[in-house]
Amino acid sequence: MKSATHNLRCTECGTVITGDEVNSIFRCPKCNGLYDVVYPWSENVTRPASGPEHNLPNASALRWLWQERRNSTLPIDQSGVWRFRDLLPIVSKPENVVTLREGNTPLYEMPRCAKAVGIEWLRAKHQGMNPTGSFKDTGMTAALSVAADRGYEWVACASTGNTSAAMAAYAARAGLRSIVFIPEGKIAWGKLSQSMDYGALTVQLKTDFDGCVRILTELVSRFPIYLLNSVNPYRLEGQKTPAFEMLEQLDWQVPDHIIVPGGNLANSSALGKGFMEMRHLGLISRAPKISVIQAEGANPLYRWFNDTNRIMRPVTADTRATAIRIGNPASWRKAANVIDKLGGWCEQVSEQEIALAKAQIGAEGVGCEPASAVTYAGLKKLVALGKVSPEERVVLILTGHTLKDSNYTIDYHRGELLTEAEEAQISAADKALHAGLRKPPIVLEPNPDVVMQTLESHMKVTQPA
C-alpha cells in the first residue's frame, strides 16, 4: 500500500499509483486501462502487517455508526454519500467536502409493475430523487470534493445532460468554474437548462456524446482542468453508496437481482463495487446479481455480451432515451467484470418497450426519465427468458427524475412519440396496455355542460339523483 488512506489501481494491468500520481485523463500510461480506488482493507490488497490499517473495518460498528449519523445535523452526516465516508476516505479534510445533501433516496414498492411482470417482490431505488434529479449527484459530490481538495479552479465534463447538471451544481456550490460539453440538439431541455442555471460555461458541440468525450480529452490534456467524467474513479466511489443505503433500507436482507440502465457503463460498475466491498467486509454474506439493460439503438455491451469472440465494437448510437445515447462506453470492461463476477445478464430493449415501461412506472405514481425505464422493460425480458424467476427479489435502479425529459412524456401521451412504423410493430397485448396508459390532455371550452359531459364519459359514473 503506497498511501495510508487510498490508492488507484489499474483495472487492466494492476499497477498501483497514489491519487496524486494520476494523469489528467485518468488512464494508465502503460496500458490505457481505467483505475479503481483501493483502500488498505480492499480485496486483493496487501495490508500492512500491523498498525491501524491492518484491521478490516468492523461490520457491526459501521452499521451502528451509519445509523447514528442519521440523527446528526452536520452536513456530511446528512449526506447519504458521506454518511458512509468510512468506506470512501478520499478527501484529506472533511471541510473540503462539497455536499447538497445528496443520497437518502427512497426505495419504493412497485406492486402493479411486479404483478404485470409476474414476480412477487419488486422495488425501485429512485436515484432521480437526488438534488439535481439524477444519480450523478452521488458521484459528483465525491469527485468534485476531490477537485476542491486538490485546489483545482476549473472542472469539465462531456455529458448527455445529467452529469453536466450535477457537475454545474456542485461546482457552483464549491465556488469552482465549470465547462460542459454536450451534443447539440441531443439532450433533454430540462438538463440543458440546469447547466445554465448553475452557471456552467455550456458548449453545445455539433457531434454526439462520443465526439464530446474526444474534445474533452484534448481540453484536459492542454489545461489544468479537472476531468469529471466517470473515467474519474472518485465518481464511482460516490456512486457505490446507494448500494449501502439500499441494504440499510432492506434491513440488510440482500435482494437477488439489481437491474441498471447501461450508457457509459460506470454506474453498474460502481454499484457492483459497493456490493462486493460489503461482502468482503462481512456487512452482507452474498452479493446480488447485477444485470445491465441498454437501448437497442445504443447497445455495444449487449452486442459484446452476445458475441462468441467477445470483441467490443463501438456503434453509432441512436435512441430517444438520450441519457444513454452512447456508442463507445468508456467503462465497458468494468461493467462486464461486474456482470461476470456477480452472475447477471445484459439485455436490450426497443423504443416501444421503453415508452411502455416508462408509462407503467409513471402509473405507479413514481415516474422516471426514459433511460431509467429500460430497467423495467429489461426486467420483462429477463423474466420471459427465465433469467429472473417469480420468487426473486428485484430492485430497479431508476436513475433520473421524470421532469428531466417532460417533452418525451408529453409526446408519448399525445401519441406523437413513436412513428407509425414503430407503432405498427407493437403487439396487440402491448397496444392494449398503451391504450389504457395514455392520458392526453383534453382541450375544452370553459362551458360547464360540455366539461361535465366530457368528464362523465371518461369517468363512466352516473350522476347522483
First to last CA, the chain: 81
CB closer to ligand F0G, 80 vs 272: 272
Q: How far is the CB of 277 from ligand F0G (least distance, A)?
A: 18
CB 155 within 8 A of CB 228: yes
CB closer to ligand F0G, 76 vs 396: 396
CB closer to ligand F0G, 7 vs 319: 319
Q: How far is the CB of 166 from ligand F0G (least distance, A)?
A: 8
Task: Give me 197's grid cell.
Answer: 442555471
Using CB under 6 A, list all residues that contact ligand F0G: 134, 136, 159-163, 230, 261-267, 323-324, 369, 371-372, 399-400
Q: What is the CA radius of gyration of the chain?
A: 23
Q: 378, 333, 441: which is closest to 122 by C-alpha? A: 378
CB closer to ligand F0G, 147 vs 283: 147
Q: Which residues on adjacent β-strands are paired with residue 38?
A: 7
DSSP secondary structure letters along 259-308: EEE-SSS-HHHHHHHHHHHHHHTTSSSS--EEEEEEEGGG-HHHHHHT-T
CB closer to ligand F0G, 161 vs 272: 161
Q: How far is the CB of 160 from ligand F0G (least distance, A)?
A: 4
CB closer to ligand F0G, 102 vs 369: 369
Q: How far is the CB of 210 from ligand F0G (least distance, A)?
A: 11
What's the rounded Cα separation, in Å, for the pair 292 and 301? 9
Q: How far is the CB of 309 from ligand F0G (least distance, A)?
A: 23
CB closer to ligand F0G, 266 vs 290: 266
Q: How far is the CB of 193 from ligand F0G (least distance, A)?
A: 14
3-state SS assignment for residue 124: strand
CB closer to ligand F0G, 114 vs 346: 346
User: How many CB atoms are closer than 10 A to CB 449?
Assistant: 7
Residue appearing with cell numbers 350522476: 463
Task: Give me 169's grid cell.
Answer: 451544481
- Would you give the distance in Å from CA 9 to the centre of its chain? 23
CB 329 within 8 A of CB 301: yes
Q: How far is the CB of 248 from ligand F0G (least distance, A)?
A: 23
Q: How far is the CB of 365 from ligand F0G (least distance, A)?
A: 19
Q: How far is the CB of 26 from ligand F0G (least distance, A)?
A: 15
- Would you give the distance in Å from CA 236 to the centre of its chain? 10
DSSP secondary structure letters along 20-87: GG--TT-B-TTT-PBEEEE-TTSTT-PPPSSSGGGSPPPHHHHHHHHHHGGG--SHHHHSTTGGGGGG
Q: How far is the CB of 323 from ligand F0G (least distance, A)?
A: 3
CB closer to ligand F0G, 403 vs 432: 403
Q: How far is CA 351 from CA 134, 316, 421, 434, in A?
A: 21, 16, 12, 13
CB closer to ligand F0G, 19 vs 400: 400
User: What distance separates the 2 farthest-apart alpha carbons in the chain?
Assistant: 85
